[in-house]
Amino acid sequence: MNHPLSILLTSPSIKFGTDGWRGVIAADFTFERLAFVAPLAAKVLADFYGKTTDNRTVIVGYDRRFLSEEFAHAVADAVTAAGFDVLLSEGYAPTPAFSWAAKQHHALGALVITASHNPGKYSGLKVKGAFGGSVPPVVTQRIEAMLKEGVTVQATPSTLQTFDPWQGYCEELRTKVDIDQIQQAVKQGKLTVFADVMHGAAAGGLLRLLDAPIRELHSHRDPLFGGGAPEPLPRYLTELLGQVRSYHQQNPTELVVGLVFDGDSDRIAAVDRQGNFLSSQILIPILVEHLVARRGLTGEFIKTISGSDLMPRVAALYGLSVFETPIGYKYIADRMLETQVLLGGEESGGIGYGNHIPERDALLSALYLLEAVVQSGRDLSDLYRDLQKRTGYISEYDRIDLPLSGMDARDRLLHQLQTNPPREIDGQPVVDCLAIDGYKFRLEDGSWLLIRFSGTEPVLRLYSEAATLERVHQILDWAKEWAGKA
């Protein structure tokens, strides 16, 4: 039998991205590799967070993907054998529940089996710190270095216990909102809630939290995710959009909210009562206004470079300072550890709160959105349009991912941006360029174009916001043509 290390070294290298290690099941992501990586991850967690905790406990959790339970048990066994106490989840749960568990139990951190919103052939390992959020790059870089060095962890085997991650997590979330008010609105028929859990770890979550009737879609476990991916995007939500639209037509005076959760419930999207998809570009301004105006909270507002220009305008209405980061929730989380934060959000659906943990949490976002609708008596889109009116800013947004012919094409485009960036885009002069993450060109007419590259594959990511959707698509078409010529 081959030694696990020889199996590891003859396979593709293990690389941790912005939120963990992901790979194709049975090709990159295997039991042997996972059992080798997990103890190293536990050791690095102990090195970084051991002085701040009073135990050597590691939380181990998992989502609903293929073999997730088995992968989690392999992790638990390997970490226990390496001398760490393990709290292993009794079942699937959202990734934020395990992040919260790490903080609640004063653990070294959490190791979570999930590939988040990726298609079904993937699995992954997320590493969470003792503080309740994703570890910084220095931690995962140390894990990678130990892998290359062939380090092994040997110790007297320790203890393994199981726990219910939902109990403490739900208790914590209930303290953040007026659960009774939302619950009564649902039970009295004033509010109907649809929830598309996309076969993922949010299944049953709102029912646990509210103990009230929820119209949940795709609750059953399907490791193939209906042939798509558990990502909160319109192309995967045809059934939800249709059901909400049909229900509103039959009940035109009732408040209706549709909520969407990704595979591990750290990203959210929503649907208004007319069946229109609402991305976090729309939800974040609504949440900022709700937390300040109705909940009386305050703090710094954090947005990524791809966030809508409406966000800082809403923040200005309430005198909030704004901090802008590169794309990736790790940058938001780092900032949340440094100062008092109201909310930090990213364009892809990750939203976290300063009164919770420095982690994206879709179920908490869902509760705040429901609370905003119940307390205002208004539809989500009505709340959004009111913010547009109050700030005098109306816009549309879209993004596309453009496959390139190869990494050479990527390098060629990057060189052009560095040495000869466009001074005019689709007939509009460029008035500013921000390069903290890719290149964000702000145009004279107030629109903007963001050009970024994937760090691991030949893909060009294009983002734009403008006064109309037609103008957005004109700018994106220009960018595609520019990329083809460069």
E strands present in 105-213: 109-113, 122-129, 160-163, 191-196
In this prediction, residue 54 carries a pLDDT of: 84
Place of tokens 């550890």: 337
Whether 156 and 50 share a structural domain: yes
In a domain? residue 445: yes
Phi, psi of 110 (to 5 degrees): -135, 145
Compute the CA torsion angle 378, 304, 357, 96 (nearest 10 deg).
80
Q: Give me the amino acid identity at 383.
A: L
Neighbours of 408 (CB within 10 A): 10
In a domain? residue 169: no
Reading the block at residue 292, the tokens are 């300040």
User: Which of 304, 286, 268, 452 lies closest to 383, judged by CA?
Assistant: 286
Q: Collect all residues with Cβ–Cβ distance below 8 Å to 139 and sequence separation of at least 6.
A: 44, 45, 48, 127, 129
In this prediction, residue 485 carries a pLDDT of: 77
In a domain? residue 99: yes
- Tell the burial category of 119 from Cβ atoms under 10 Å away from its Cβ (0-12, 13-18, 19+): middle
Instruction: Show which of 164, 184, 199 is a domain's final residue.
Output: 164
Whether 442 and 347 share a structural domain: no
Residues 201-221 as b or e (16 or more Cβ within 10 Å = b): bbbbbbeebbebebbbbbbee
Whether 358 and 472 share a structural domain: no
In a domain? residue 459: yes
Angle in degrees, 0-180, between the axes of helices 280-293 and 380-391, rounded to the nearest 10: 80
Which ranges in 188-279 belong to alpha helices (H)?
Answer: 205-210, 238-250
CA distance 150 to 163: 32
Whether 128 and 250 share a structural domain: no
In this prediction, residue 293 carries a pLDDT of: 98
Whether 297 and 369 share a structural domain: yes
Whether 186 and 112 share a structural domain: no
Reading the block at residue 55, the tokens are 């135990």
In a domain? residue 74: yes
Domain assignment of residue 469, given as a range: 396-485
Domain CATH code at residue 285:
3.40.120.10
Element (H, E) at 416: helix 407-419
Tens digit of pLDDT at every position of the chain (486 positions): 444 444 444 445 788 876 789 999 999 999 999 999 999 999 999 999 999 998 999 999 999 999 999 999 999 999 999 999 999 999 999 999 999 999 999 999 999 999 999 999 999 999 999 999 999 889 999 999 999 998 888 888 899 999 999 999 999 999 999 999 999 999 999 999 999 999 999 999 999 999 999 999 999 999 999 999 999 999 999 999 999 999 999 999 999 999 999 999 999 999 999 999 999 999 999 999 999 999 999 999 999 999 999 999 999 999 999 999 999 888 999 999 999 999 999 998 999 999 999 999 999 999 999 999 999 999 999 999 999 999 999 999 999 999 998 888 999 999 999 999 999 999 999 999 999 999 999 999 999 999 999 766 788 999 999 999 999 999 999 999 999 876
Reading the block at residue 124, the tokens are 């992954």
Edge-first strand listing for the sheet containing 255-261 = 215-217, 191-196, 255-261, 268-271, 277-278
In a domain? residue 48: yes
Instruction: Show which of 367, 391, 415 is a domain's final residue.
Output: 391
User: Which of 219, 222, 196, 345 lies closest to 277, judged by CA?
Assistant: 196
Reading the block at residue 114, the tokens are 């999930």
In this prediction, residue 1 carries a pLDDT of: 40
CA distance 480 to 484: 6
Whether 237 and 298 share a structural domain: yes
Reading the block at residue 28, the tokens are 């990159």
Reading the block at residue 409, the tokens are 């094409």
In this prediction, residue 45 carries a pLDDT of: 97
Whether 283 and 250 share a structural domain: yes
Reading the block at residue 163, the tokens are 């726990």
In a domain? residue 170: no
In this prediction, residue 145 carries a pLDDT of: 93
Instruction: Show which of 108, 135, 164 is a domain's final residue.
Output: 164
Whether 360 and 450 share a structural domain: no
Q: Is residue 411 helix, strand or coil? A: helix
Domain CATH code at residue 447:
3.30.310.50
CA distance 307 to 281: 6
Reading the block at residue 188, the tokens are 């009295």
Whether 272 and 193 share a structural domain: yes
In a domain? residue 204: yes
Whether 375 and 419 share a structural domain: no
**Domain count of the chain?**
3
Reading the block at residue 257, the tokens are 């909210």
Whether 187 and 292 share a structural domain: yes
User: Which of 325, 318, 281, 330 lies closest to 302, judged by CA?
Assistant: 325
In this prediction, residue 486 carries a pLDDT of: 63
